[in-house]
Amino acid sequence: MTSLALSRVRFLPFALGLGTFLAAALIVEILIRAGLINRFIVPMPSQIVASFERVIVEEHMFERFVMTFKECLAAAALLAIFGISIGAAMHRFELLRRATETWVAAMASAPTVLMYPLFLVIFGRSATTIVMMGFVAGLPAVILKTIEGLSSTRRVLLNVGRSFKLTPLQMFLKIQLPSALPTIFTGFKLGLIFALINVVGVEFLINFGGLGQLINDLAERYDLPGTYAAICFVILVSVIFFIVIEWIERWLTRTD
């Protein structure tokens, strides 16, 4: 295959994805202009695009974007540190695991966002509340996937470690953790989705901070194109996060 053909193959999925998105936007635009979708509920995609400049300049988008990004980053760091540590501890200590695993699993499906008044009381109307809400929402997924990853380490690899007389710490760091990394990353990405939803959601609910607060403000002003433009920036935060996480995952678990 020639290099030109190869590069075409490589960019084809991206081009197809972008094309599908643009086609969907075009269909919505046509449906709204034709009066089949109420334009007071759903703004036209062209209006959303036109509002980008206004939202960026007048609503201090950059500062808000950075604030939400920082909150997500803090929640992600807490998830990585505490989620993996708690998961590893629960895997290591059978009693702890048996005593708490069901609770953690139940917490994974609980609507933790409803706990925001409690967090407001504890941490005040601040970024800490938002970060902690994001952290708590993502924690169960990281814990459960860490346990699953560590538990599914192949027995023969553990036996290799035993045959080389590894200490428990070496066994964990040199065999169990690298073996579990792909599963842990799956949990981490899931946790991050919950964290991001909660960060923006709590910003919206307590009307504080970055993009969530902006969406709240714009929605209350009934500036629908601006609201959707702000939502696009939330998606951008998510996209940047996932690109970075996947890059880190590839770097840590490179096998080819």
178 forms part of the interface with another protein (CB under 8 A): yes
CA–CA dist 89, 85 (Å, integer): 6
10 forms part of the interface with another protein (CB under 8 A): no
Mark 114-153 with x for binding to another protein (rule: CB under 8 A) and - for no binding: ----------------------------------------
* Pick 3 or 163: Cβ nearer another protein: 163
Q: Given the rule CB under 8 A, which of 156-164, 192-200, 210-218, 234-242 is the region that contacts another protein?
A: 156-164
22 forms part of the interface with another protein (CB under 8 A): no
- What phi and psi values does residue 36 have, to the nearest 5 degrees? -80, -25
Q: Given the rule CB under 8 A, which of 58-66, 71-79, 112-120, 177-185 is the region that contacts another protein?
A: 177-185
256 forms part of the interface with another protein (CB under 8 A): yes
Q: Given the rule CB under 8 A, which of 37-45, 212-220, 230-238, 247-255 is the region that contacts another protein?
A: 247-255
CB of 163 to another protein, least distance (A): 4
Radius of gyration, CA atoms only, the chain: 22
Per DSSP, the residues of 39-85 read: TTTS--HHHHHHHHHHHHHHTTHHHHHHHHHHHHHHHHHHIIIIIHH
249 forms part of the interface with another protein (CB under 8 A): no
* Pick 109 or 163: Cβ nearer another protein: 163
Question: Residue 34 corresponds to which amino acid?
Answer: A
Distances (CA, A) of 53 to 15, 77, 210, 229: 25, 32, 17, 10
Per rule CB under 8 A, count of chain residues that contact another protein:
20
Tokens of 57: 């300049």
174 forms part of the interface with another protein (CB under 8 A): yes
CB of 248 to another protein, least distance (A): 14
Report yes or no: 157 and 179 within 8 Å, Cβ to Cβ: yes
CB of 187 to another protein, least distance (A): 18
Q: Which of 24, 164, 235, 244 binds another protein (CB under 8 A)?
A: 164
Whose CA is closest to 208, among 64, 54, 77?
64
Q: Which of 25, 107, 181, 232 binds another protein (CB under 8 A)?
A: 181
CB of 165 to another protein, least distance (A): 5
The residues that touch another protein, with contacts defined as CB under 8 A, are 154, 156-157, 159-160, 162-166, 170, 174-175, 178-179, 181, 253-256
